[in-house]
Amino acid sequence: MSAIPARSILTPVRAVPVFAPNPLRTARLLIRPLRESDREAFMSAVAPMRAELAATMSLLRLEEPLDAFFERQISLLRRTDDQSAGWRRIAFDDAGAVVGGFNLFGITRGLTFEAEANWWITPDKRGQGLATEGVRAMLDAAFADLPVGLGLHAVHASIDPANTPSIRLAQRIGMRCEGGSRRVSILLGDRWVMHETWTIRS
């Protein structure tokens, strides 16, 4: 029996390329990656809600200048897309205004393919069903088979039990709370906040 050449043992395995739908279009939203040309629109949308984002999500640091926040989001998007480790997207309405964000991150590919999710909607666009519309589009991309979608088996969202709107949205789209075994503590600003894990499976 011949030995396996050393070269074949040491050759690195290349990551599976992922080509999730890009951009996504729903009835009222265009969901696509953030671009440099979106800088002003993005910062204008985030500025009025920066304290809220810092207090409810680990997305924004309260003391962080908005320009730095924008640059960090662009960098995160490029790095996670290149490594197939995330799917970070911004939502625009028919007028071209930024109305929210929908993110999949921490993608793992082992016995099961899973990711964490979060989302946000600007205050002036709430109560219109846009968050539900965007999350459903995100999940369609997450669960679609490779190479069209991400081929995931499960998506989790860590939600503060006091965040009633997000809990109602999670219930509406079919997520289930996994209870005490999946509670996680997340640093938001200068405080740790216990979150419940909500999950949906393909």
In a domain, 113, yes or no: yes
* Contact in structure between 183 and 197 (CB atoms under 8 Å): yes
> Does residue 118 sit within a domain?
yes
Q: Is residue 6 part of a domain?
A: no
Question: Token pair of 116, please?
Answer: 């964490």
* pLDDT, position 21: 56
pLDDT of residue 99: 98
Residue 16: the pLDDT is: 53
Contact (Cβ atoms closer than 8 angstroms) between residue 194 and residue 184: yes
Q: Give the chain's domain count.
A: 1
The single-letter code of the amino acid at 88 is R
The length of the chain is 202
Q: Give backbone dihedrals phi and psi of 20, rounded to 5 degrees, phi first.
A: -65, 150
Using DSSP, state whether 90 is helix, strand or coil: strand
| Phi-psi group of 115: left, alpha or beta (phi > 0 → left; psi -120 to 50 → alpha; rest → beta) | beta
Structure confidence at residue 15 (pLDDT): 52
Q: Is the pLDDT of residue 191 over 80?
A: yes
94 in a structural domain: yes
Residue 12 has pLDDT above 50, yes or no: no
Of 168 and 22, the one with more pLDDT: 168
> Phi, psi at residue 82, to the nearest 5°?
-60, -35
Looking at per-residue confidence, does 184 or 60 come out higher? Answer: 184
Tell me how far apart the alpha carbons of residues 83 and 107 are, in angstroms, rounded to a whole number: 10
The pLDDT of residue 4:
40
Is residue 1 domain-resident? no
104 vs 186, higher pLDDT: 104
Q: Are 92 and 107 in contact (CB under 8 A)?
A: no
Which among 122, 82, 89, 120 has a CA at the least distance from the CA of 104? 89
Judge residue 31's burial from the number of C-beta atoms within 10 Å of its C-beta, 0-12 exposed, 13-18 middle, 19 or more buried: buried
What is the CATH classification number for the domain harbouring 124? 3.40.630.30
| Residue listed under structure tokens 């671009």 | 35
The band of 175, judged by pLDDT with boundaries at 50, 70 and 90, is very high
Nearest CA to 104 out of 138, 147, 140, 148 is that of: 138
Within a domain: 11: no
* In a domain? residue 170: yes
User: What is the mean pLDDT of the segment spanning 152-161?
Assistant: 95
| Structure confidence at residue 20 as a pLDDT band (50, 70, 90) | low
Structural domain span for residue 30: 20-201
Question: What is the percentage of the chain residues whose pLDDT exceeds 70?
Answer: 89
Q: What is the average pLDDT score of the chain?
A: 87
For the segment 165-192, the average pLDDT, to the nearest whole number, is 87
Q: Which residue has the tokens 């730095």?
A: 68
List CB contacts of 197: < 8 A, sequence separation 6 or more. 156, 157, 158, 159, 177, 178, 182, 183, 184
Summarize the confidence of residues 54-81 as an average pLDDT: 87
155 band by pLDDT with thresholds 50, 70 and 90 = very high
Sign of CA dihedral 36, 40, 45, 46: positive
Task: Quick: pLDDT tens for 102-123.
Answer: 999 999 999 999 999 999 999 9
The answer to whether position 85 is within a domain reads yes
Q: Which two tokens stand for residue 87?
A: 């799917």
